[in-house]
Every structure is written in structure tokens, then in C-alpha cells.
Amino acid sequence: MQKVKPAFFVVAALILAAAFSRLIPHWPNFTAVAAIALFGGARFRNKLIAFVIPLAALFLTDLILGLHSTMIPVYAAFGITVLLGMSLRNRTSALGVGTTAVAASVIFFLITNFGAWLTMPMYTKDAAGLMMAYLNGLAFFNDGAMGVSPFINTLLGDLFYTGVLFGSYALAGRKIPSLRTA
């Protein structure tokens, strides 16, 4: 039986804490969800664990916040985000992590709004309906009071929380060498 490294528990605790940030007041879509998927993909060596822990943390908070009709596209987008995180495993430079966080935001936008187009009767099932879903996704219920727009909030939240998770873990790894692998 393989011994579980202390880094595993630190990474899992950071992911769980970041996931529960969804439960405190925040701007719409300014959350740590993509950051936990990227971080889990980058830091867990076991590929199954890299998917299970971030997605389980998301599901736990969804149980509290409420399940919704677009869960399949949301979880698919975050599964892809875990894969993006895996591409960061041996190269977690600030530029690489930031670029990957931007890619995760764009992928989330494209997949979830495609899912909205597929499932919501308000959209015609043609190219015009799909474009309307993407346009509505950019302006999605925004009155300007809660940030710029949900897409920009997603992008900013992804960059912020990705920086917090990767940055704090890197700082801790300088002091505690056993944190270098999970």
C-alpha cells in the first residue's frame, strides 16, 4: 500500500477551502471553481484523484447551492479544465498558469453557453439561436452593480483564485520541501 504524502492533504484542503468560497457573498461567477480544477490537475499526480477531488468539491457546494439544468456542460467544462491543469504539472510559471486560467474561462464560456442553447427553449436550434446564447452569455443578467459582466467576472475570478492557489502553494513549498508533489 502506497503512503499518502502530506502534500496530498494540503492540496485537498486548499481545494476544499476554495470550493467553499462559493458559499460566501461574491460577484456573480467570481469564484474559485476553475482554479480548483486547474490546481487539482496540476498538483495531484494520480489522474483519477486530479478529477475526483475538484469535481467532488464542486458537487458538494452544488448540493448546498442547488442543482441546476446545466450541470452536465458545467462539469464537462471543469473536466476539461482539470486536463488543462495537468498540462501545467512540470511548468507552473506565472505566465503559463495565467494563460491556462484564461483558456479555462473561455472554454467554460463556450461550453456552458452551448449547453444553455441546447437545453433552453428560448433559443432557436440554429446558428442564430446559438449566437444569441453566446451574446446573452456575455451580458447574462448584468446591471453593472455586481462587477463588469458574468464572463469578465469569471475571467477575473479564475485569474485571482488561480493566483491565490498556485501562489500560496509555491510559497509554502519553499518552506516545506515535502509539498513539491502530491
Provide the residue ranges of all domains of the chain, joining segments of one domain with +. 6-180
Q: What is the pLDDT of residue 150?
A: 76
Give residue 136's pLDDT band: very low, low, confident or very high (50, 70, 90). Answer: confident
Tell me: pLDDT of 141 over 90: no
Tell me: pLDDT of 181 over 80: no
Tell me: pLDDT of 1 over 60: no
CA dihedral 32, 107, 82, 99 (to 10 degrees): -80
Q: What's the CA gap between 2 and 86, in Å, rounded?
A: 22
Q: What is the pLDDT of residue 153?
A: 85
Give residue 138's pLDDT band: very low, low, confident or very high (50, 70, 90). Answer: confident
Residue whose entry in the numeric block shows the C-alpha cell 507552473: 92
Average pLDDT of the chain to the nearest whole number: 89
DSSP string, the chain: -PPPPHHHHHHHHHHHHHHGGGGS--STT-SSHHHHHHHHHHH-SSHHHHHHHHHHHHHHHHHHH---TTHHHHHHHHHHHHHHHHTTTT---HHHHHHHHHHHHHHHHHHHHHHHHHH-TTS-SSHHHHHHHHHHHHHTT--STTSS-HHHHHHHHHHHHHHHHHHHHHHHHHH-GGGG--
Q: Which of 63, 53, 52, 51 is nearest to 22 (CA)?
A: 63
Tell me: pLDDT of 143 over 80: no
Q: What is the pLDDT of residue 146?
A: 53
For the domain spanning 6-180, the CATH number is 1.10.1760
Tell me: pLDDT of 108 over 60: yes
Q: What is the pLDDT of residue 167?
A: 94
